[in-house]
Structure 1
């Protein structure tokens, strides 16, 4: 099945409220952001890529990481290609200056972002959070990411992602587990 990509702000019903707000504030990143409706049961990366013919190297996963030091918790979003995984206990933990880093629990990630689990995206996150984008994502000519909802996906260039306010481009990916 082929995806029908249209300008994201033409279908606000396919965007989580914080994503729509952010895109409006950003001017839709000069019209570069596209949205496509998908089967919400196929939102998880492997199922999505297989069903819609998107290569893992064209899809990126956004995970929310909680870094802890002392009694303080600092959150960050990490975006890596689906063919890799986030180096949470290495690069991400060090970058956050945390003693311990882990994926934020599902309920916490959903509550803090205002997005659906499985659709969390770096667009529209709390402004105080760093968004750590792997170098390979930033270099991608086209990448598919979440829309904040499980029933749609966004597509844009890695360069457009790298222009988001809180983005820091650095090596935060490692090979996927076999």
Structure 2
């Protein structure tokens, strides 16, 4: 991976390190969705929003139900005539029984070059990758050709009523273009 160039032809070692750190730290935030509204994504949403804001990307936090938080941000592109691209992930995870795991499911432990925990492959890893990439773009001063809309949603593992359903029904303007 170290040979893969970024948008400006350089490897962003900081982004490579950040994706591991962000994945581990997001896993440590227990966002277990047991259905029936039994979940609280807000701590993970605040984590993501803080890192976006630190990179100069203005996040918007939105809730239908208190604690069921979504994050949306738009990175302006260089070509206003180009359609926007939506990149999204969810912040909740399915339940995990610690006794079924060789590593605690909310440890975010890095072992043998692998991040372990609930969400390491669905979907906190992808959330972390998107976060690391857009922060890398900000450091490099890179702007994509088209607007990039980033959404981190709540409630994907159950009904989506507090997540993508809520965003589409009540905040469609954030996805224009």
Q: Flag whether TM exceeds 0.5 (same fold).
A: no
TM-score normalised over the length of structure 1 = 0.26
**Length-normalised TM-score, structure 2:** 0.27
Query: Which is bigger in relative contact order (C-alpha 8 A, separation at least 6)?
Result: 2
